[in-house]
A and B are shown apart, each in its own frame.
Chain A
């Protein structure tokens, strides 16, 4: 399967501190590719490095074109949407304003996002800062889904959410993945099991494993070794202690 996104020898720094050592992997043009790893190994920083939100070196190719020297807004305009860790909605803007700001194309997909998250239509005039964590996550996802993107990069979308909302977010991502490939950073192995086709495991800023999701998730010893969790625990808890 041809790669949509290719990352080669990516290194990223924040305030002079190296947060991604040397990451290389590929994201195919379909399905969900999950980036896994223990806390602090550089998963979120890898996404930010790809987007240019962190200073980076290395080679990043998207649909055959180099994007590693492009500014962030051009990378996003080329069709890569980003859902950040901790939602980062604009708390002083209304739900509608958050989505309007994100809409880049002439015909934004309002119907699609409202069908996926009906609550957002009902709360259009409500300030995003007054929403619950789950509702804010819906806004964050909707901002990415309102445009016809070619890749979604989603960073820990279920972090800190109640189990019911985790399911809703999982359903929304499953629905989205039918039309657009997703690069997903996630700690919840139940969500990974449900969504991921391929996995990339990062440890200490480097990729230590890539392959089909089932191959890793069906191997409790390998999960324990690479992610530091037992398979008994991950059915009921997040992946990391």
Chain B
């Protein structure tokens, strides 16, 4: 029983990280039709920024954690907004070039981060509450999992409120469905493009800081390795669907944890799940079927 609980809650923690990345990916693709391969770079830079803050303020203190999360979110937001304004916007309506520029940025930033922080993982010497465990039904759950889950729930709630209660949220929901018609109503949809990139950057930034706690290290490859699973989550959930991303994040991560523990083939199971979804329901769990 304790193993089941441990795997389940650890899976939920990993799912929370996947969701923090996949939510932005899904919104960006849904509204703009851009597969953002640079999303992992937002996460990695935010993780390093959070690490640097934590190192100076005290990585094991609550202040250090909150400050690193805040700085990670800001860094992710600024990096993402600049990427949209400087690289994506000049290529408006040229989707292939937009995707290629994000691929180029992801490769270039890994080299840049390796140049600054070195190619090897930097392990975090954290102690305190985040490194301790809490006993649930006999299972010792690392506390950082709870923080990740809480952060993902807060981001999900914030996004739902934003999308349903604000005019820009309305524009984004409409734009995901029919971007040209939003423009034909006299709305400058490009502002919404910058906004979804920024929101995606905030979520990825928070995810980056939490991922460094989850895995216990920061590395130039941290974002890239998580991005692969976030893409899988986005496709399984349905491109452009926030709820789909949330459901698929939990599904993929929990399945991955159980398959890893009992069979040692977690990654393979996730890829097989992706194949099954693509064969049975190509639009994903909550995605809209192509017309």
Contact = CB atoms under 8 A, between A and B. Distances in A.
Interface of A: 51, 53, 71-73, 76-77, 82, 84, 88, 90-93, 97, 100-102, 104, 143, 147
Interface string B173-211: 110011011111111110000000000000000000000
Nearest to A82: B184
A90 B180 CA distance: 11
Given A90-B174, A90-B178, A101 B184 contact: no
Contact of A84 (B167, B171, B181, B186): B181
B173 A84 contact: no
A133 B214 CA distance: 52
Contact of B184 (A72, A93, A104): A72
Contacts of B186: 73, 76-77, 102, 104, 147
Given A53-B184, A71-B183, 14 more contacts: A53-B180, A72-B180, A73-B186, A73-B188, A77-B186, A90-B173, A90-B177, A91-B177, A92-B177, A93-B174, A100-B170, A101-B170, A101-B182, A104-B185
Nearest to A146: B185
26 contacts: A51-B184, A72-B183, A72-B184, A73-B187, A73-B189, A77-B186, A82-B184, A88-B181, A90-B173, A90-B174, A90-B177, A91-B177, A92-B173, A92-B177, A93-B170, A93-B173, A97-B170, A97-B174, A100-B167, A100-B170, A101-B170, A101-B185, A101-B187, A102-B186, A104-B185, A147-B186
A101 B178 CA distance: 13
B184 A76 contact: yes
A135 B182 CA distance: 20
Nearest to A129: B177
Contacts, number: 52
Contacts of A84: 181, 184
Contacts of B182: 101
Contacts of B178: 88, 90
A89 B183 CA distance: 13
Nearest to A75: B186
A125 to B, nearest CB: 13
A82 B184 CA distance: 7
A76 B182 CA distance: 11
Chain B interface residue bracket vs A: 10 to 19
From DSSP, what is the main secondary structure of chain B's interface residues?
A: helix
A101 B187 CA distance: 9
Nearest to A97: B170
B171 A101 contact: yes
B105 to A, nearest CB: 26
- Which one of B173, B181, B184 has the greatest number of beta carbons of chain A within 10 Å? B184
- Which one of A77, A90, A91, A143 has the greatest number of beta carbons of chain B within 10 Å? A90
A51 to B, nearest CB: 6
Contact of A73 (B167, B173, B177, B183): B183
Contact of B174 (A72, A76, A82, A101): A101
Nearest to B189: A73
Contact of B181 (A77, A90, A100, A147): A90
A97 B178 CA distance: 14
Interface string B19-55: 0000000000000000000000000000000000000
B30 to A, nearest CB: 11
Contacts of A143: 185
Contacts of B187: 73, 101
Contacts of B170: 93, 97, 100-101
A73 B179 CA distance: 12
A82 B182 CA distance: 11
A158 to B, nearest CB: 20
B140 to A, nearest CB: 44
A60 to B, nearest CB: 15
